[in-house]
Amino acid sequence: MATNTKRLLLSDLVSSDKIDQVPSHYIRRISQRPNLQNVYHDHTIPLIDLHDLYTPNRSHVVHQIGRACRDYGFFQVKNHGVPESTIANMMNIAREFFKLPEEERLKTYSDDPTKTTRLSTSFNIRTEKVANWRDFLRLHCHPLQDYIHEWPTNPESFRDHVAEYCRSARGLALVLIEAISESLGLERDYINRQLGNHGQHMALNYYPPCPQPDLTYGLPGHTDLNLITILLQDEVPGLQVLRNGHWVAVDPVPNTFIINIGDQIQVLSNDRYKSVLHRAVVNCEKERISIPTFYCPSRDAVIGPASELVTEDEPAVYRQFTYGEYYDKFWNRGLATENCLDMFTVTSSSS
């Protein structure tokens, strides 16, 4: 095991040290393991065609999105406007990056979660007690001109392809945010106006094959702290969502995105829409790549329930807070609890 401790990245531990069992610091307690044999396969997950958002049938699509946000907390979209070539380039460049030599990848390595461009492993190795079976490259990407100079230059086309993808993902996020705002009975631009200067981050997640996938997670059950997440996955299953008390596998569908509601939408909607618990599991045969785009408020934006959604019968569930305050608490706790919304309720002692 002596060589294992020298590896900063899980992928190098797996590929170079040829391990045949999961190292002890990745192993979950029995009560916290994924129980993969109890996972459901639900083919009723909403798949929403966004084409009609630009036609007189817009209200029908808005209604579908609202119902999916209320009943599921996540949905899939097709005819989303992101070119197939942009998606293919993004996935290919991610695969190329994680195949680079160790010393090349490690040029962007950091265990500091405040860095806006960094390669790291697990989730937050400074605070967590059990590691996750994942390496990731995290990038801030809005405003693009503020961050692109920090990004890797190897592979050679990395910045061009990722920037193109970021612009397309941002366009999709803005379309969805307007529709979600409308679905709540708010003005179309209401949520947009609450986000300050807006923020956008993304992660390139790499999940190596795991010799004992029933002992660990790529990521354990958690909600996303941001506004909405737009997930691009490769063809290897791994995403699971908690629905009606059961974990449900969300199998990849080519040229679609998974959209999930984050904590900030739950706050803005005053609990009408719920941020959904989801997790990433791993397998023993194939590597998996997933690329979530996290659309969020800027750090100084003040978030709270929309006043139109607060009534005598439905009082405000959450206090107002800055997104920066929420972001810092989320990263510091290191997925120790499933979400941190309870720290921001009106009745919370932290108010």
Using one digit for the tens of pLDDT, what is the confidence trace for 217-266?
999 999 999 999 999 999 999 999 999 899 999 999 999 999 999 999 99
CB atoms under 10 Å from CB of 103, counted, come to 7
Q: Which of 2-11, 116-125, 153-162, 277-286 has the lowest mean pLDDT?
A: 2-11
Average of per-residue pLDDT across 188-205: 97
Q: Coil, strand or helix: which one is 294?
A: strand
- Residue 350 confidence (pLDDT) above 60: no
Q: Which of 23-27, 109-113, 136-140, 208-212 has the lowest mean pLDDT?
A: 109-113
Q: Coil, strand or helix: which one is 58?
A: helix
Q: Which of 283, 292, 279, 294 is nearest to 246 (CA)?
A: 279
Percent of the chain with pLDDT over 70: 95
- Residue 15 confidence (pLDDT) above 90: no
Per the structure block, which two tokens stand in for 308?
């139109």
Task: Supply the pLDDT for residue 124.
Answer: 74
Using one digit for the tens of pLDDT, what is the confidence trace for 111-162?
888 899 999 988 776 777 899 999 999 999 999 999 999 999 999 999 999 9
Q: How far is CA 219 from the centre of its chain?
A: 11
Sequence-separated (6 or more) residues with CB below 8 Å from residue 92: 161
Percent of the chain with pLDDT over 90: 82
Using one digit for the tens of pLDDT, what is the confidence trace for 226-240?
999 999 999 999 999
Task: Supply the pLDDT for residue 342.
Answer: 87
Task: Supply the pLDDT for residue 128.
Answer: 79
Average of per-residue pLDDT across 195-214: 97
> What b/e sequence results for 252-290 when a residue is b if at least 16 CB atoms lie within 10 Å of its CB, and e otherwise?
beeebbbbbbbbbbbbbbbbbbbbbbbbbbbbeeebbbb
Residue in the structure block whose two tokens are 């974990």: 247
Q: Which of 189, 231, 184 is nearest to 67 (CA)?
A: 184
- Identify the band that residue 334 occupies on the pLDDT scale cut at 50, 70 and 90: low
158-183 and 84-98 helices, crossing angle to 10°: 130
User: Measured between alpha carbons, how far is 43 from 291 in angstroms, rounded to an integer?
Assistant: 22
Using one digit for the tens of pLDDT, what is the confidence trace for 309-330?
999 999 999 999 999 999 888 8
Determine the Cα angle at 280 with ends 274 and 286, to 5°.
155
- Identify the band that residue 338 occupies on the pLDDT scale cut at 50, 70 and 90: low
Tell me if the bond preceding 155 is cis, omega within 30° of 0.
Answer: yes
Per the structure block, which two tokens stand in for 123?
């989730």
Per the structure block, which two tokens stand in for 10?
């899980």
Average of per-residue pLDDT across 5-14: 83
* CA-only gyration radius of the chain, Å: 20
Q: Which of 321, 330, 320, 324 is nearest to 299 (CA)?
A: 324
Average of per-residue pLDDT across 41-67: 93
- Identify the band that residue 336 occupies on the pLDDT scale cut at 50, 70 and 90: low
Task: Supply the pLDDT for residue 349.
Answer: 47
Q: Is residue 95 within 8 Å of 157, Cβ to Cβ?
A: no
Task: Supply the pLDDT for residue 42.
Answer: 76
User: Measured between alpha carbons, how far is 86 from 83 in angstroms, rounded to an integer?
Assistant: 5
- Identify the band that residue 1 occupies on the pLDDT scale cut at 50, 70 and 90: very low
Q: How far is CA 202 from the centre of its chain?
A: 8
- Residue 295 confidence (pLDDT) above 50: yes
User: Measured between alpha carbons, how far is 308 from 320 in angstroms, rounded to an integer?
Assistant: 15
* Most confident region among 30-44, 240-254, 288-302 by mean pLDDT: 288-302
- Residue 337 confidence (pLDDT) above 60: no
